[in-house]
Amino acid sequence: MRLTVAQALIRFLVNQYTERDGAQERLIAGTFGIFGHGNVAGVGQALLEQPDEMPYVLARNEQAMVHAAVGYARQRNRLSTWACTASIGPGATNMVTGAALATISRLPVLLLPGDIFATRVANPVLQELEDPGSLDVSVNDTFRPVSRFWDRINRAEQLPASLLAAMRVLTDPVETGAVTLSLPQDVQAEAYDWPEELFARRVWRVRRPPAEPAALAEAAELLRQAGRPLIVAGGGAIYAEATDALRELAEATGIPVAETQAGKGSLPYDHPQSLGAIGATGTTAANALARDADLVLGVGTRWSDFTTASRSAFHDDTRFVNLNVAPVDAFKHAGLPLVADAREGLQALRAALEGWSADPAHSERATSLAAEWDATVERAYTLGHTPRPAQSEVIGVVNRVSGPRDVVVCAAGSMPGDLHKLWRTRDPKGYHVEYGYSCMGYEIAGGLGVKLAAPDREVYVMIGDGSFLMMAQEIVTAIQEDVKLTIVLVQNRGFQSIGALSESVGSQRFGTAYRTHEDLAMVAEGLGANVVRATTVEELEAGLRGASGVTVVEIHTDPLVPAPDSEAWWDVPVAEVAGLDSTRAARATYEQNKAGQQQYLSQ
């Protein structure tokens, strides 16, 4: 079949499917795009020819369209995602931040940046880097370290093998992340005779590898011997749809469960074994159990510094068992590696632990500490702070208004930590905080992706004024696509999370507050959103209940009311010598905390 490279690419993509547990879905559900000379006549023309097979959505910023694809992929548990087509030069490099986010959080996205002429006859082309040392370098080489698979299609014949490799990586639970196919603008438009088989329907089974029997037996034995075991559930538990298996193991053994940012929602907040968030933004319940744990079973977690409170959450001789499909995570903290799919591994562990349960006093302590924390949450939800409410009250209102299956979306600022501590999750897909890259500007674009992936759920985007100023433009894309999106704009006049951090390191909130008086609600109005200016929690609630289409509810909050304390630390180094008393005092505190940092080498 004679088609251009771009036409062949799109025809191939519409025929790719994933399969897990017998269910199939389209791997590439659609394509986000922004055109320029690098893709308008290639991929753009191909999309024009196949509009029914491949939905196309015009985005407003290339970084944001990658965020939207990531939001979609995460909501679909990595079984489906979107492609993103960009022009050459700045259009392409705008996607680099999105690529890093996807790769760090192990979420599949297919990036299709245009690239400079492969023939080089007309070079230097507009927006070409022109490396004096090599004619083979373009700005698209910046995608290499942030992509799990990267290729440049310099000849049509290269395309089939490259596409198969790209699909393999996108659908591999271990390797998945950003996949980048750089497409020189001339090659996109070249015709070639493709074999028919290239366009046959192809199904990529997302594997669920079982644990090795010897490792499983060893893990079960360690758990049986444990006096104060703890489970830490990460994003992998949710992506593998292992939350029922997790609940069954927790109920059968009485082991309490704490959750990372990506793992929040693994258990409903009011489950007797649920401790909620762990680590630097954790609950006092989870952190108390972590301090005392002799054995920790990590499930699908990459053990980020927030989860381990920079390696101070657990004591030094804690033993780790890491159930993880990715060896890179399974071997962390000198743990016993249980390399397996989370659901397979949890079910096998439950069978291997048949008849055993943890000390009932241990389980009861977890339940009672969690109940104490929930009372703390209730107080934070209903502070009645005046004249402007505290952020925790805003969280309380959104939690109360939202249904159990609805999704809260957030990424950066003080809100992710507060949500981690305070949000009462009721559904494994109800909590979507991007905290691998914690990228300001993810919120609205990510929320759009979530809504496209789950049209039957209400989506509540929580966004700070700082993030809003970085990226609000996908409001326009959401209106264009006629999706309902409810955006809570928390206006506290500055980068207040960093202000608080600055204060804690003795830097006196330097450079974090605004000296301007912008009206962001008016910006939202200008973009076409329905806008509610709420001044009280009652008005916030009314605004949320009355929301339709794309609605921005703005609420001014008091930035100086912190969420309840986690009783945990985060390692941010303080100047060792300083002229300021505030910095010297912070350094002394830092050194005390640093002394509690561990290596986690016990085996």
Ligand X SMILES: Cc1ncc(C[n+]2csc(CCOP(=O)(O)OP(=O)(O)O)c2C)c(N)n1
Residue 495 interacts with ligand X (CB under 6 A): yes or no = yes
Residue 441, amino acid: G
For residues 418 to 457, the per-residue mask of contacts with ligand X, x marking binding by CB under 6 A and - elsewhere, is --------------------xxxx----------------
Contact between 554 and Mg ion (CB under 5 A)? no
Q: Does residue 492 interact with ligand X by CB under 6 A?
A: yes
Nearest to 556, CA basis, from 494, 600, 507, 513: 494
For Mg ion, give the closer residue by CB, 20 or 421: 421
> Kind and range of the H or E element at 117?
none
**Cβ contacts of residue 94 below 8 Å, gap of 6+?**
61, 62, 63, 86
Q: Give the shortest CB-149-to-ligand X separation in angstroms.
A: 25
59 binds, among Mg ion, ligand X, none (CB under 5 to 8 A by kind): none
Residue 139 token pair: 């700005």
Q: Distance between CA 514 and CA 441 in Å, rounded?
A: 18
Structure tokens, 192: 């070639």
- Report how far apart, in Å, the C-alpha atoms of 574 and of each of 15, 430, 583, 587 are: 53, 37, 7, 5
| Complex with ligand X: residue 59 or 338, whichever CB lies closer | 59
Torsion of CA 244, 248, 251, 252, to 10 degrees: -170
The count of C-alpha atoms lying within 13 angstroms of the C-alpha of 374, restricted to the half-sphere facing its C-beta, is 16
Q: How many residues bind Mg ion (CB under 5 A)?
A: 5
Instruction: Tell me which of ligand X, Mg ion, none is bound by residue 414, counting a contact when its beta carbon lies within the kind-specific cut-off of 5 to 8 angstroms.
Output: ligand X
- The strand pairing partners of 410, in sequence order, are 433
Give the residue with the Cβ less far from ligand X, 274 or 496.
496
Q: Is 63 in the site for ligand X (CB under 6 A)?
A: no
Stretch of residues binding Mg ion (CB under 5 A), selected from 105-113, 135-143, 316-324, 495-503: 495-503
Pick out residues in 327-356 that bind ligand X (CB under 6 A).
none
**346 vs 472, beta carbon nearer Mg ion:** 472
Which of 98, 236, 436, 464 forms a contact with ligand X (CB under 6 A)? 464
Write out the two tokens for 403: 């249904």
Contact between 290 and 313 (Cβ < 8 Å): yes
Q: Which of 151, 259, 458, 465 binds Mg ion (CB under 5 A)?
A: 465
How far apart CA 84 and CA 102 sit, in angstroms, is 13
Look-up of token digits 């109940």: 371
CB of 463 to Mg ion, least distance (A): 9
Span from 268-276, 351-359, 393-401, 457-465 in contact with Mg ion (CB under 5 A): 457-465
Binding characters for ligand X, 370-389, by CB under 6 A (x = yes) = --------------------
Q: Which is nearer to ligand X, 279 or 441 (CB)?
A: 441
Instruction: Provide, rounded to whole angstroms, the least separation between the CB of residue 463 and ligand X.
Output: 7
User: Does residue 404 have a cis bond before it (omega within 30 degrees)?
Assistant: no
Binding of residue 498 to ligand X (CB under 6 A): yes
Among 98, 40, 48, smallest CA distance to 72 is for 98
How wide is the angle at C-alpha 430 spanned by C-alphas 428 and 433, nearest 5°? Answer: 100
Binding window for Mg ion (CB under 5 A); candidates: 24-32, 116-124, 487-495, 508-516:
487-495
- What is the binding site for ligand X (CB under 6 A)? 412-415, 438-441, 464-467, 492, 494-498
- What is the binding site for Mg ion (CB under 5 A)? 464-466, 492, 496
